[in-house]
A and B are shown apart, each in its own frame.
Chain A
Amino acid sequence: MKNSPPLAGMPIAIKDNICTKGVATTCASKMLKNFVAPYESTASNKLWSSGGICLGKTNLDEFAMGSSTETSSFGVTSNPWDINRVPGGSSGGSAASVAAGFCAAALGSDTGGSIRQPASFCGVVGLKPTYGRVSRWGLVAFASSLDQIGPITNTVSDAAEILYSISGKDPFDSTCLDKPVPNYLTDLNKSIKGLKIGIIRECFEHPGLNPEVKESVLSGVHRFKTLGAEIVEVECPRFNDGIATYYVIAPSEASANLARYDGVKYGYRSNEASNLIDMTSKSRAEGFGDEVQRRILIGTYALSAGYSDAYYKKAQKVRTLIRKDFDNAFKKVDLLLTPTCPTTAFLKGDFVNDPLSMYLSDLLTVPVNLAGLPAISIPCGFDTKGLPIGMQLIGNVLEEDRILNAANIFEIDAQVIKNRSLF
């Protein structure tokens, strides 16, 4: 394979909100059930150019809105570690397929934790790159200032390979950064002696954090210390405001992005309508599921005249404060460390009728999206039920190489997942 392309023969799955030419791209929604993408996304195209083999399209929460893959109109995905539990979401199909050995790697998308949270629940590696590192061309838009495509893999090294393949400037996406792409494999094994890792105090003091998760992640912190890293406690006072901020900004952007699904040009069209307005209204009511409709309603309200200052603009101001917290933290440390999720995988149906509790699953991941930073989730242990626990490493803008290096050193030393053959 000396002269072969870098990913020659590697079997890869693609989340079904990423366009693949000539293949159905449904977003797990009745609205796009019969939509066949007329073009290839830049990220997947780069994988195929590198020799990757497309195995198929993976399940997700409808339009990537959810944390359990239970809102898919194609049925719930099960967690391979315990089929009574959810795989997380929204990239639950991608994480479950990697964990179950149904592919070597998968692409996911991360708007508020949708790569890292399912990676944590399924005991695999999930990387959310810096906003703009990977082109969003061909990613069906949910919240455009937050969305980012990234890899879900079994090893940190595989995540580095995928990231290297899919990163870089793209003339089709004006938000894609025109910055050189380093070979992320080069420094993977570099010593982390002297690396300053910041522990965000607010995360570990949160009352919603499961004690077993906390203990496991703190054991991971101790391991980093023995590997030569310097551990520093840092404060991010606005970190826990992330959820409230996110659930104004993301639905606002979603309400605008999903306005295009009106039953006119493509997507589901109701047969029950008697006029144009009725057709649009019924097509949207019948084509979208409950969670998508809920977020469109929240977003439309937050952006409406008389309320946008109180909600959307205020949320944008808090977003800036969250970003400033990270800026201040990165003046003191090289990386930040938190649990990926407050809990391990929960049972199917636990939060279906309690969306606010479901939203808290992304408590520790959304601030990263709001600040546009890169972050990775890697397995760091198990709870007493045998379910995997994830640890999140957050880097400064475009410092994926540093995250991958630390994660790889940890992965090699800890050997958390010894047997990946779940089936």
Chain B
Amino acid sequence: MSIAEQPTNKTDNPLKIVEDATCTFCGCVCDDINLTVEGNQITKAQNACVLGKAWFFNHHIEERPEALIDGQPATYEQAIDRAAQILLESQYAITYGLSDTTCEAQRVAVAITDWIGGCLDTTTSVCHGPSGMAFQGVGEVTCSLGELKNRADYLIYWGGNPAESHPRHFTKYSLMPKGEFVPNGRKDRTAVLIDVRKTKTAKAVDIHLQLKPRSDFELAWALRALAKGLELDDSVEEKTGIPLAQLKEVMEGMKKAKFGAILFGMGVTMTRGKHLNSEAVLALARDMNKHTRWVAKPMRGHGNVTGADNVVSWSTGYPFGIHLGRGYPRFNPGEFTSSDVLGRGEADAALIVASDPYSNFSQPARDHLKAINTIVLDPKLSETAKIAKVAFTTSTYGINEPGTVYRMDDIPIPLRPAFDSPYRSDYDILKAIENKIRKHQLEAVNAGLKAGEFRIVSGCSSAW
């Protein structure tokens, strides 16, 4: 970290320059941002894209209570007590969110869920969860973003609009930069967009395959067939909207590439077919390796959603949708994923970390979330915070807090905070809740031992 403090004549606030700060708005996790900080306000964010600037300029300190219990202002200590009580008394709690916080906080959230025998899920389940399932089915031919920058001469953006959602992916990692084996940058690369819409990304690429909605699966399998040299008839165009001749042309280009990459977004995972769509795209990249080097990478959204996948995977063996109630992890998307658990009206408590499911989930899931005891940690007010029994105001990771996040290519990157917050971090709050829970559980065990009983407290509820 390189932080130089300098006095300023303009204001009483000290001027601080934070070099190589890390932006955690999207999965690109750009770590070359130079911040100018005046007091508790970031005034310049050199190298940041339009989304990064909005992230850095709008996370100043807000005047809000540190916590709310039933909508009434409360202290952190009161809220931590209440949160621990809710989680201990629950029969079937669910932990959700986690993609906009540090890996350190994610680890504590996993531990809490394990101690109380709850369900563990992250925003991955409504993002690239289907891709996570597909990795288990067909594997992942992968690479780092640095390899893309230095090697990729054929890029296929599939079901995503990075020009708007990941603006610096183009300039820093994939489309534009000059690299060791692509010294002329953009001129050395061919770019294709596969999307139902003619988005801003369409203007940046050489070829736009504007497929019909809900035909990603068929298009991927048509390309797989062409990669194997099989003959196809014109029904491909009828189904996908893409002329067979154009598909053959693209496949020729793919085979001639030295290093190709499919970068796929939620147009693939959120559309009917879901994990089967992701599987088809991943299998296409795998098949192409019979001709030349190809990889496929999901374009990840939130700043540390990749960290959530990593932390949850190394802790439990699975990336999301996990039940810990039997004392060992069980993975079952559709059963233990939040949309389903809440939509079926099953959970009786929820621990929501840095996420707003009350704005984004289906109506049945939202209705249930409102009906149960919900605990929320969020730096900003959200609809979920409004309906929560206990709502914590937190500091913002990366801006106020150090820690580790994972870039979308699974590269861990340190955070370099800009200024202190009067609010506590997710990690501190979660650790305090965990300590309360463990203290109570251990006291219950000791009391049982003294009375000549032995009770397993972890993994089941116990009276507060």
Decide if A and B are genuine partners.
Answer: no
Binding site for B on A (CB under 8 A): none
